[in-house]
Amino acid sequence: MTKTPAMRKVNAELSVVFPLTDECKALVADSDDQWECIIRNQVLPVPHPVGTCKMGSMSDPTAVVDPFLRVKGIKGLRVADASVMPETTTSNTMAPTIMIGERVADFIKNTKKGKTNETK
């Protein structure tokens, strides 16, 4: 990719976060074989920690927050981040985390206006 006209125009360079394994170093640099080796042996998932403050029903003993993101047993405290996701998503957690923030903002606004379905 760095050899395409568009990338050459901006002097793009490949940045390697982890050093190549000996197996991949032994292959011809930038060859299809080396790229396959890198992809098969060095591509790792990025951790997206979730679930440390699990959302669930009031009857779920493992849940920390209710479906309205209120911390159980602590009045006036909500959690609105990836930690409320009971399980990790199969993709990046950024979009769902933004949605969680937007949703809790609606909960708070509606509570202030007296328009809420939240149970006490």
80 & 52 share domain:
yes
Query: Is this structure's pTM higher than 0.75?
Result: no
Per-residue pLDDT tens listing for the chain (120 residues): 778 899 889 988 776 667 888 999 999 988 999 989 988 887 777 677 888 999 999 899 999 999 999 999 999 999 999 999 988 887 888 999 999 999 999 999 988 887 766 655
33 & 65 share domain:
no
Alpha-carbon distance 46 to 33, whole Å? 24
96 & 59 share domain:
yes
Query: Considering only CA atoms, which of 78, 64, 91 is closest in space to residue 118?
Result: 78
Helices (H) and strands (E) in the chain, counts: 4, 0
Q: Identify the pLDDT of residue 85.
A: 92
Residue with tokens 């990719």: 1
Active site positions, annotated: 48
100 & 56 share domain:
yes
12 & 66 share domain:
no
23 & 82 share domain:
no
Range of the domain at 10: 5-42
Q: Identify the pLDDT of residue 47.
A: 72
* Count of domains forming the chain: 2
Which residues are paired to 78 by β-bridges? 70
Alpha-carbon distance 48 to 97, whole Å? 11
58 & 106 share domain:
yes
